[in-house]
């Protein structure tokens, strides 16, 4: 039986319309067509589709600060009410200045009047634009991940949340890397609340999920394991994803990073997937952050994984044999995106 799919229809309302990279607005890769391509492939494969259940702000503040949630919810309206859309003519919410910790001698930064400056209190980069329908889509993606977790806790063996925008770069109080709220972390937290902890999050996206790591860095109730392109080779998120980040306090040893060299292909990548599965030993449930941007021709990463590699990864993680929520993260080659996701899900079903 194909896995249930939770699909947040409102994802189409999020149209970042590019990203600001080193000060230049370039064509983005986190496009509405990503969601449509994945949905089309799974509809064709006969997967049953479900909508996300409505959520409230308190469902989000289990992971995120009220400040971040409030900012994301109101940023577009604030921007519209400011002069930026006409002077200088910026039609997306973009940060303008950042309150780095040392600037304020350790004192909490005051709340600025300008929305451009306020954005700098929550954004970790300039690439992650907020437009007219961004909040509706972000909220629906979070709701889809939460719905999938609820379904799993109610007895479904595994559920796939086909969400965009992705989530794993977003932390308790910050957004970035095309992510706004951390869908996978919200699912993991809900599983804990429904007595399915300890949870292991296995992150297969090509990039390190710095947000998920930060959210759970000091707890062992949710372990975080990730394989990703080595940030030391010059890749986003640049400051995080190194092997010596192992967790802190009660979370000591509950964080595992496996950085990989550019060009890493199936064999070495799958060996790392096996290590992540072993790291999950003893967990009562699992969340898979399913980025498929490690695909060999993905425009955002130099890893060299094939469709068959993702299918094998699906079978490997299924062998952990615990209730599982699979949450979509990155993956940007539209011509192969559907095949990569379906390949992983097929592999998962065969591996159970
Ligand atoms: C969820 C996810 O996969 N987020 C990844 C965002 C990584 N973006 C890094 C972008 C770095 C600059 N990209 C410019 C591409 C120019 N060809
Ligand atoms: Zn990625």
pLDDT in tens, 202-221: 999 999 999 999 999 999 99
Task: List the one residue out of 126, 124, 72 whose CA is nearest residue 99.
Answer: 124
Task: List the one residue out of 2, 13, 19, 6 whose CA is nearest residue 332.
Answer: 19
Q: Whose CA is nearest to atom 6 of ligand 1?
A: 177
- Ligand 1 is surrounded, with C-beta below 6 A, by 21, 127, 166, 169, 177-179, 205, 207, 236, 291, 293, 300, 329-330
Mutate to test the pocket of ligand 1, among 11, 29, 165, 207 (most ligand atoms within 8 A of CB): 207
Distance CA 254, CA 220 (A): 6
Strands (E), the chain: 5-6, 19-21, 24-26, 49-50, 158-161, 199-203, 222-229, 255-260, 285-290, 324-328
The minimum-distance atom of ligand 1 relative to the CA of 205 is: 3
The minimum-distance atom of ligand 1 relative to the CA of 332 is: 3
Output the CA 283–ligand 2 centroid distance in Å.
25
- Asked about 297 being catalytic, the answer comes back as no
Q: How confident is the model at residue 293 (pLDDT cuts 50, 70, 90)?
A: very high
Distance CA 42, CA 246 (A): 36
> Are 250 and 217 contacting, i.e. CB atoms less than 8 angstroms apart?
no
Task: List the one residue out of 287, 294, 64 whose CA is nearest residue 160.
Answer: 287
Task: List the one residue out of 307, 251, 337, 285 whose CA is nearest residue 159.
Answer: 285
Q: How confident is the model at residue 33 (pLDDT cuts 50, 70, 90)?
A: very high
> If phi over 0 gives left and psi between -120 and 50 gives alpha, with beta otherwise, what is residue 56?
beta
Q: How confident is the model at residue 1 (pLDDT cuts 50, 70, 90)?
A: confident
Q: Whose CA is nearest to atom 2 of ligand 1?
A: 330
Long-range contacts formed by 17-25: CB under 8 A, 24+ apart: 17/91, 17/92, 17/129, 17/131, 18/92, 18/129, 19/126, 19/127, 19/128, 19/129, 19/178, 20/94, 20/126, 20/127, 20/129, 21/126, 21/127, 23/126
> Are 123 and 19 contacting, i.e. CB atoms less than 8 angstroms apart?
no
Q: What is the DSSP letter of 298?
A: -
Distance CA 64, CA 271 (A): 33
**Residue 289: what pLDDT?**
99
Span 236-288, pLDDT tens digits: 999 999 999 999 999 999 999 999 999 999 999 999 999 999 999 999 999 99
**pTM more than 0.85:** yes
Q: How confident is the model at residue 123 (pLDDT cuts 50, 70, 90)?
A: very high
**Residue 158: what pLDDT?**
98
Output the CA 126–ligand 1 centroid distance in Å.
11
Output the CA 113–ligand 2 centroid distance in Å.
33
Residues 6+ apart with CB under 8 A from 163: 8, 11, 35, 141, 144, 145, 183, 327, 328
Output the CA 19–ligand 1 centroid distance in Å.
9
Here the tokens at position 315 are 């079978």
Q: Whose CA is nearest to atom 3 of ligand 1?
A: 330
Distance CA 104, CA 241 (A): 27
**Residue 88: what pLDDT?**
97
Element containing residue 317 per DSSP (H, E)? helix 307-318
Output the CA 186–ligand 1 centroid distance in Å.
23
Whether 14 shows a pLDDT value over 90: the answer reads: yes
Average pLDDT over residues 141-149: 98
Paired sense of beta strands 158-161 and 324-328, if any: parallel
CA dihedral 289, 293, 296, 298 (to 10 degrees): 170
- Rounded to the nearest integer, the mean pLDDT of the chain is 98
Out of 11, 14, 168, 169, pick the active-site residue.
Answer: 169
Burial of 253-276, coded b for 16+ CB within 10 Å and e otherwise, reads ebbbbbbbeeebebebbbebbeeb
Here the tokens at position 62 are 């289990």
For the chain, count helices (H), then strands (E): 10, 10
32-44 vs 337-351: helix axis angle to the nearest 10?
A: 50
Here the tokens at position 343 are 């390949």
Q: How confident is the model at residue 29 (pLDDT cuts 50, 70, 90)?
A: very high
Q: How far apart are the first and last CA of the chain?
A: 11
């Amino acid at each position: 039986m194909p896995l249930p799919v939770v699909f947040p229809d409102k994802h189409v309302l999020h149209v970042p319309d590019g990203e600001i990279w080193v000060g230049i607005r370039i064509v983005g890769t986190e496009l509405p067509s990503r969601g449509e391509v994945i949905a089309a492939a799974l509809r064709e494969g006969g997967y049953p589709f479900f909508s996300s259940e409505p959520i409230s702000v308190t469902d989000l503040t289990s992971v995120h600060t009220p400040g971040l949630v409030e900012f994301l919810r109101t940023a577009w309206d604030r921007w519209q009410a400011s002069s930026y859309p006409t002077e200088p003519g910026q039609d997306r919410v973009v940060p303008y200045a950042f309150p780095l910790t040392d600037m304020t001698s350790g004192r909490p930064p005051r709340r600025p009047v300008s929305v451009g400056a306020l954005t700098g209190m929550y954004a970790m980069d300039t690439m992650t634009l907020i437009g007219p329908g961004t909040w509706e889509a972000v909220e629906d993606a979070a709701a889809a991940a939460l719905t999938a977790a609820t379904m799993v806790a109610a007895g479904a063996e595994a559920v796939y949340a086909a969400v965009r925008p992705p989530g794993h770069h977003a932390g308790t109080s910050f957004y970035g890397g095309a992510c706004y709220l951390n869908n996978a972390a919200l699912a993991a937290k809900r599983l804990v609340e429904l007595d399915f902890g300890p949870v292991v999050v296995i992150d297969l996206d090509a990039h390190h999920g710095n947000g998920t790591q930060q959210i759970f860095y000091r707890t062992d109730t949710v372990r975080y394991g990730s394989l990703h392109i080595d940030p030391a080779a010059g890749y986003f998120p640049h400051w995080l994803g190194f092997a010596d980040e192992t967790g802190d306090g009660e979370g000591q040893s509950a964080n595992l990073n496996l950085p990989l060299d550019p060009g890493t292909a199936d064999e070495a990548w799958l060996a790392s997937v096996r290590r992540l599965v072993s790291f999950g030993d003893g967990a009562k449930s699992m969340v898979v952050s399913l980025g498929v941007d490690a695909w060999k021709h993905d425009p955002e990463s130099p890893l060299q994984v094939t469709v068959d590699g993702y299918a094998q990864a699906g079978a490997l993680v299924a062998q952990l044999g615990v209730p599982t929520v699979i949450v979509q993260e990155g993956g940007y080659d539209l011509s192969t995106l559907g095949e990569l996701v379906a390949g992983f899900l097929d592999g998962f079903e065969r591996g159970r």
